[in-house]
A and B are shown apart, each in its own frame.
Chain A
Amino acid sequence: MSPILELQNVSRAFGGIKAVNDVSFKLEEGEIVALIGPNGAGKTTLVNAITGVHTPTAGKVFFEGGDVTRQKPFQAARRGLARTFQIVQPFPKMTVLENVAASALFGGHPESLAEAHDHAARELDFVGLGHVAQSPAASLTLPNRKRLELAKSLAMSPKVLLLDEVNAGLNATEIDGALDLIRRIAARGVSILIIEHLMKVVLSLSSRVLVLHHGELIAEGPPQEMVHDRKVIEAYLGPKFAERFQKEMALG
């Protein structure tokens, strides 16, 4: 079986800055892989490069074995390569239901507008927003806006979902709810690449972790190993703190 998503030496530069530099990895079908890295590491840019928002300046992106490097974002969506935005992007003047119906209608493959609505209503129930379906999207709280982003991407019946910090800004109970939700999404057979700062989420969800630093993939492996990896700790804390941190860890 070939991987559902594969990046080969993908780079994306802005002017002189290489925001993503020579990144290669594979996402197997049904996997949950976490992408971590300090602020400005290039995580969002990588998602943008995969979905055609910023076409890679070098390298190739394969989806279900086909070369999709030069696709437009709307093509990615229709293919089943969906993403959420780190900064939520609702249609503010529409209701929550209409927001999701738009995804179902344009990004999914519905028979009709009515079917798109039904599908949207099902996804809203799935993410727990059924009770605010008729509210304007602009009136939602931040946790609910994050859920709306999820419902919008799910309504396109994606095969791969790229989640860009869907849990940022949530409190502890909300995070437990979000964890459960992401597990249920995975149980639907969706392969997930999740960008995450919260170690709790990374450790409890992913089977594999990719670490990005200055645009480069510096480490890759099981989550338990990654949190103790010298290079990874250095990337987050700088070399001096990394040394101290590891000594303290060693002492227990």
Chain B
Amino acid sequence: MMARKSPWPLIAMALWLAALALTPVVLGNYEVRIAISIAMFTALALSWNIIGGFTGYPSFSTAAFYGIGCYVGALAQRSGVPAALAWLAAAAFVGGVSFLIGAIVLRLKGHYFAIGSIALVDISRLVVSSWGEVTGGGNGLNVPLLQGRPPEVSALVLYVMLGIMAAAFLANVLVDRSRLGFGLRCIEQNEDAADMVGIDTTRYKIAAYVLSAVFPGAVGAVYASWVGYIDPTDSFDILTTVKVPVMAMLGGAGTLLGPVVGAVSFVLLEEIFWANFLEWNRAIMGAIVVALIFFLPGGILKLDWRAILRRPSRRKAAERKPG
């Protein structure tokens, strides 16, 4: 891990960003929407990776961070704050919330955290639903729309989402190469031993949790500006909270490109099933996810691709040999 780091994940990511950024130029509106979805979920999965992958603390807070981001961004914009500033404010606010929650639940080891992290989703939804005068309660909130023709707006949203995705990736790279990341990997592998070699485990875990929160906060706020309307059910969707870790694990948790591969695979699969099996898509999707996790415990990236690619050619060679 501390041998010289390979530059390939960075190069692959740069190419992938460029490809996604080209969609508004070369493809239609439908593809741009998918690209936005991919950028969003990649940013969310990469964020989760810092706490769930590097640190090994399964967080189910994604929907809370995202939802609080939606509301803080929306409320800031409604009170006249420019969109870009509102997005930053959402990220900062969610970072603060995650710090406070982390300082409470991360003193504990292991499973308590998973439960605390999922409770945060319900508590946030409850607060937003019942604080009607400010949040609009169950009726939701209108958010000032971004100015411009629809294709321009989608392109702008895509570029902003790609920016957040790039920032989340960069955070992963920096964590991976730093003292922080080394400490987080120690915690993941043996928390008692980590403590005993001098790692302030509580502080490290809180740092990982906060890093996993700020980008989803920004994603939520940008999403709110894009769709123009938010409500508690959509913003604090329990499905998001489960989907995002699944994406990261699908590609390979704790790696740099795993969450990227997992998010795009998942979004595309979901798109295919929505289009072709409208009524059964959830069930089919669930079955596929269970199967993939069962057969690919280390994620897509941990597969021995060389062996898989070699096998058919070897078979062909064997056939050619006179029997």
Contact of B192 among A89, A98, A102 (CB under 8 A): A89
Roughly how many angstroms separate A148 CA and B111 CA in the complex, as a whole number?
A: 29
Contact of A90 among B183, B193, B195, B201 (CB under 8 A): B193
- Residues 75-117 of chain A: 1 if any B CB is under 8 Å from the residue's CB, otherwise 0? 0011000110100011111100010011101111000010001
Q: Is A44 an interface residue, CB under 8 A from the partner?
A: no
- Residues 45-70 of chain A: 1 if any B CB is under 8 Å from the residue's CB, otherwise 0? 00000010100000000000000000
Contact of A106 among B1, B189, B192, B197 (CB under 8 A): B197
Contact of A78 among B179, B182, B194, B198 (CB under 8 A): B198
Q: Is the CB of B2 within 8 A of A117?
A: yes
Q: Is A208 an interface residue, CB under 8 A from the partner?
A: no
- Residues 1-20 of chain B: 1 if any A CB is under 8 Å from the residue's CB, otherwise 0? 11000000000000000000
Roughly how many angstroms separate A244 CA and B213 CA in the complex, as a whole number?
A: 69
Chain B residues whose C-beta falls within 8 Å of the C-beta of A117 in the assembled complex:
2
Question: Number of contact residues on B: which range applies?
Answer: 10 to 19
Q: Is A152 an interface residue, CB under 8 A from the partner?
A: yes
Q: How far is the CB of B125 from chain A (nearest CB, A)?
A: 35
Q: Is B205 an interface residue, CB under 8 A from the partner?
A: no
Roughly how many angstroms separate A91 CA and B190 CA in the complex, as a whole number?
A: 6
Given A77-B198, A98-B2, A85–B193 Cβ distance below 8 Å?
yes
Chain A residues whose C-beta falls within 8 Å of the C-beta of B243 in the assembled complex:
none
Q: Is the CB of B2 within 8 A of A74?
A: no
Q: Is the CB of B198 within 8 A of A90?
A: no
- Residues 181-217 of chain B: 1 if any A CB is under 8 Å from the residue's CB, otherwise 0? 0110110011011111111110000000000000000
Q: Is the CB of B189 within 8 A of A51?
A: no
Q: Is the CB of A74 within 8 A of B190?
A: no
Roughly how many angstroms separate A101 CA and B199 CA in the complex, as a whole number?
A: 12
Contact of A89 among B185, B196, B198 (CB under 8 A): B196
Q: Is A200 an interface residue, CB under 8 A from the partner?
A: no
Q: How far is the CB of A58 from chain B (nearest CB, A)?
A: 23
Given A91-B186, A92-B190, A93-B189, A113–B2 Cβ distance below 8 Å?
yes
Chain A residues whose C-beta falls within 8 Å of the C-beta of B190 in the assembled complex:
89-92
Q: Which of B140-197 contact A (CB under 8 A)?
A: 179, 182-183, 185-186, 189-190, 192-197
Roughly how many angstroms separate A90 CA and B193 CA in the complex, as a whole number?
A: 7
Contact of A94 among B1, B183, B192, B196 (CB under 8 A): B1
Q: Is the CB of B195 within 8 A of A73?
A: yes
Given A89-B192, A92-B190, A101–B2 Cβ distance below 8 Å?
yes
Roughly how many angstroms separate A85 CA and B193 CA in the complex, as a whole number?
A: 9
Chain A residues whose C-beta falls within 8 Å of the C-beta of B199 in the assembled complex:
74, 102, 106
Q: Is the CB of B182 within 8 A of A105?
A: yes
Q: How far is the CB of A100 from chain B (nearest CB, A)?
A: 9
Q: Is the CB of A94 within 8 A of B185?
A: yes
8 examples of A-B residue contacts, CB within 8 angstroms: A72-B200, A85-B196, A89-B196, A91-B185, A92-B190, A94-B189, A105-B182, A156-B198
9 closest A-B pairs by CB: A107-B198, A77-B198, A106-B198, A89-B193, A91-B189, A103-B197, A73-B195, A106-B199, A107-B197
